[in-house]
């Protein structure tokens, strides 16, 4: 089985008991990253705290996403922390963005209506509903401890992620960003999951999705949109998004 990528500096932090938090979405990459991370931590005799952390995006998430994370946590024998944006999920963020834009326009404080949707260049869906809430929780829980934040980012995913490094370190905060499967292929990912005895999210092998994220995502390809639209559980989300698009 392919090992996790690492660096000497990261291994030193692991062996000195740094806290390890693995972000899990229910998708294949975070599942494989968690499995690879635990194998590596066990090999090094890690004695620090370990958690899985899931940012719940609300009604836009697939029904199986959180249960997939729960099964992974049970398999690894570790705590699963679920965090949420206090002001609501992604659908609420989109609606709120549009209402705020309309109010500013009606008050003549702007001459341009701002679109409600996140975009590839403006992914507040990731920054506000995932990154910010996860980082806030980890800083509150672990304080000034060294924290290793693990994600399942892979270079194969996109041209932007092709430049991703194995580890980034913030000397001021003592924060490591670790990408243990950054050079893995899709086959490596599924092989690792299958070898663990866990099933991947049903979105892949039942729904026919190549990527499991929100039910409808700005980063989806056409085939994934069609596959998502074929699932009954996604229909209400689709209707809400269509109405919001019509309004905006």
Tell me the pLDDT of the chain (248 aa) as tens digits. Answer: 899 999 999 999 999 999 999 999 999 999 999 999 999 999 999 999 999 999 999 999 999 999 999 999 999 999 999 999 998 888 889 888 888 877 887 777 887 878 888 888 888 788 888 999 999 999 999 998 999 999 999 999 888 888 899 999 987 778 999 999 999 999 999 999 999 999 999 999 999 999 998 999 988 999 999 999 999 999 999 999 999 988 88
pLDDT value, residue 98: 82
CA distances to 7, 129, 155, 199 from 83, in Å: 29, 9, 27, 24
- Domains in the chain (CATH in brackets) are 8-247 (3.40.50.620)
pLDDT value, residue 157: 87
Nearest to 13 by CA among 153, 165, 149: 149
62 phi/psi in degrees, rounded to 5: -65, 145
Contact 60, 228 (CB under 8 A): no
Angle between helix 65-76 and 28-44 (nearest 10): 10
Instruction: Please state whether beta strands 147-150 and 175-178 pair in parallel, antiparallel, or not at all (unpaired).
Output: parallel
| Burial class of residue 123 (count of CB atoms within 10 Å of its CB; 0-12, 13-18, 19+) | middle
Contact 20, 148 (CB under 8 A): yes
Write out the two tokens for 33: 């990253």
Angle at 203 between CA 215 and CA 158, to 5 degrees: 75
What is residue 173's three-state secondary structure?
A: coil
Nearest to 146 by CA among 6, 12, 5: 12
17 phi/psi in degrees, rounded to 5: 90, 25
């Amino acid at each position: 089985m392919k090992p996790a990528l690492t660096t000497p500096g990261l291994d030193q932090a692991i062996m000195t008991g740094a806290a390890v938090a693995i972000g899990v979405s229910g998708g294949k990459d975070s599942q494989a990253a968690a499995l690879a991370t635990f194998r590596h931590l066990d090999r090094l005799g890690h004695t620090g705290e370990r958690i899985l952390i899931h940012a719940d995006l609300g009604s836009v998430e697939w029904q199986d996403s959180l249960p997939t994370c729960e099964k992974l946590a049970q398999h690894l024998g570790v705590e699963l922390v679920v965090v949420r944006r206090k002001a609501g999920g992604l659908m609420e963020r989109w609606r709120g963005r549009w209402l705020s834009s309309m109010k500013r326009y009606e008050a003549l404080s702007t001459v341009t209506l701002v679109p409600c949707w996140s975009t590839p260049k403006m992914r507040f869906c990731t920054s506000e509903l995932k990154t910010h809430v996860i980082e806030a929780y980890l800083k509150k829980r672990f304080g000034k401890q060294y924290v290793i934040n693990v994600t399942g980012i892979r270079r194969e995913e996109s041209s932007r992620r092709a430049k991703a490094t194995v580890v980034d370190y913030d000397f001021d905060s003592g924060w490591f960003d670790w990408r243990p499967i950054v050079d893995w292929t899709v086959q490596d990912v599924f092989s690792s999951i299958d070898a663990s005895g866990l099933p991947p999210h049903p979105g892949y092998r039942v729904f026919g999705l190549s990527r499991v994220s929100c039910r409808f995502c700005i980063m989806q390809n056409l085939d994934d949109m069609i596959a998502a639209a074929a699932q009954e559980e996604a229909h209400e989300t689709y209707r809400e998004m269509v109405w919001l698009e019509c309004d905006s």
